[in-house]
Amino acid sequence: MNKAFIFDMDGTLFQTNLILEPALDATFDVLRTNGLWQGETPIEKYREIMGVPLPVVWETLCPMHALEIREESNVLFHVKLIEQIRGHKGALYPNAEQTLATLSENYPLYIASNGQIDYLQAIVETYQLERFIKGIYSIQAIASGHKSDLVKRVVDENTIDYGAVVGDRSSDIQAAQDNQLLSIGVRFDFAQDKELEKADIVIDDLTDLLKVTFD
């Protein structure tokens, strides 16, 4: 039986909070310069919705702006995030590398994320996660934009019989349940207790994954 772990990226393996504020602030600096935004950068609002696809982010942060402006802001933000990653301004969560190394000895590991592919690739390359990860799946490849459909693609393409989805938000937990997989919630920066209540298991440290067994 082919068993695997499927990981979310932001707020699960990668500490996005470390690069979020400077990248978002740099983006809104451009909007302010162009007279398209007044006031502070809406960092708190973004933290509330962290994990949703980026187009949804800009619909939420800038609902009064034209679609073209939101799309331009999205592209700029994406560029700023990758600059932060390549500049080693971010970090993996504590024990992430150790845990992935150990798990990869017994299970294939995959990334299924709402992040765009070049963003995910930047993290994987910068932190050399290709040593452990068999495949990277971005929501960009899924027309519906649903995490459950993304995880289904991972399962189908890799003939996974059973395993776990590890993530910090309700979409990760729902994706596990929709695909008859174990849902493991991580209680990190962006996690919300109400969402984690629905997970089969909740962990506070990635090394806790080493105790998980698939019956």
Residues 29 and 98 placed together within one structural domain of the fold: no
pTM above 0.85, yes or no: yes
Instruction: Answer with the one of 46, 66, 86 that is the final residue of a domain.
Output: 86
Residues 65 and 76 placed together within one structural domain of the fold: yes
d(CA 64, CA 70): 9
Instruction: Answer with the one of 37, 60, 86 that is the final residue of a domain.
Output: 86
- Give the pLDDT score at 51: 63
Token readout for 173 is 């937990």
Q: How many domains does the chain fold into?
A: 2
Q: Which of 155, 158, 109 is nearest to 8 (CA)?
A: 109
Instruction: Write the CB contacts of 55 (distance below 8 Å, at least 6 apart in sequence).
Output: 70, 71, 74
User: pLDDT for 26-66, tens place per residue?
Assistant: 999 999 999 999 999 998 888 788 767 677 889 999 998 99
By the 8 A CB rule, do 212 and 164 touch? Answer: yes
Strand partners, 113: 138
Rounded average pLDDT per 10-residue block, the chain, 215 residues: 94 93 93 93 84 80 91 92 96 97 97 94 97 96 93 98 95 96 92 89 96 85
Residues 8 and 24 placed together within one structural domain of the fold: no
